[in-house]
Amino acid sequence: LTQAASRLLDLGGDAAVTLRAVGQAAGVSHNAPYKHFENRLALLASVAMADAEELAGAVRRIRASDMSPRERLMETLMTVARFGREHPSRYRLLFEDPAIAALEGPMKQAAMATFAEFAEVVRDCQTANALPAMPHAALTGLIFASLHGLISLSGSGRMQPGKGLIGVNPSIELLLDVLAPAAPR
């Protein structure tokens, strides 16, 4: 049921996720979802939660790998960027939807857990002097916001029209190049 909504979101965006279409895709009536979710938003939240947990798991695996801290950071950023590229509507739901962000409870917990994984990747870089020794929360926020801005602008088609703007991945590399020299050697 959550899976059906997720697929519809990928295929046709937010507007395609009608309870009738979700019901039909899951082989039930158009208001069977109301027996499992409070309303449409709660159903979408379950999609967002699954994605938040998937991302958190991916970052956790990267953290446990034997790459250098800096490589782990790059891999983490690329993983989020790939998710945004391959699932733009689901990315939008998870990171841009105001109604989802306003939810308390498990959705908020999942979002914070995902962010915490991300923050640890940044912290490891700082410990290894691969990122500057500025306040950890500020640096994490700046990197995450820059990443999100690149994915968001690019995902909604606002990075091409300009005069030779570079893509998401090169921009991420540029950001890290600009941050790295500020770190003590």
Residues that bind DNA (CB under 7 A): 17-21, 23, 28-32, 34-36, 39-41
* Selected binder of its own copies within 152, 169, 184, 185 (CB under 8 A): 152
- CB-wise, 39 or 156, nearer to its own copies? 156
Shortest distance (Å) from residue 3 CB to its own copies: 23
User: What's the token pair of residue 33?
Assistant: 């979802």
Element (H, E) at 69: helix 69-86
User: Which residues in the 10-39 window bind its own copies by CB under 8 A?
Assistant: 13
Q: Is residue 125 within 8 Å of residue 73, measured between CB atoms?
A: yes
- CB-wise, 29 or 109, nearer to DNA? 29
Q: What is the CA radius of gyration of the chain?
A: 18
Residue 98 binds its own copies (CB under 8 A): yes
Residue 105 binds its own copies (CB under 8 A): no
Q: Which does 28 bind (CB under 5 to 8 A by kind): DNA, its own copies, none?
A: DNA
Q: Which does 64 bind (CB under 5 to 8 A by kind): DNA, its own copies, none?
A: none
Region label for 129, one of left (φ > 0), alpha (ψ between -120 and 50) or beta (otherwise): left
User: Which residues in the 109-128 window bind its own copies by CB under 8 A?
Assistant: 111-112, 115-116, 119
The closest of 119, 105, 4 to 56, measured between CA atoms, is: 119
Q: Which does 21 bind (CB under 5 to 8 A by kind): DNA, its own copies, none?
A: DNA
Q: Which does 36 bind (CB under 5 to 8 A by kind): DNA, its own copies, none?
A: DNA
From the number of C-beta atoms within 10 Å of its C-beta (0-12, 13-18, 19+), residue 107 rates as buried
Spell out the residues 6+ positions from residue 94 whose beta carbon is closer than 8 angstroms to its own. Answer: 48, 51, 52, 100, 111
Shortest distance (Å) from residue 28 CB to its own copies: 27
C-alpha span between 112 and 44 (Å, rounded): 18
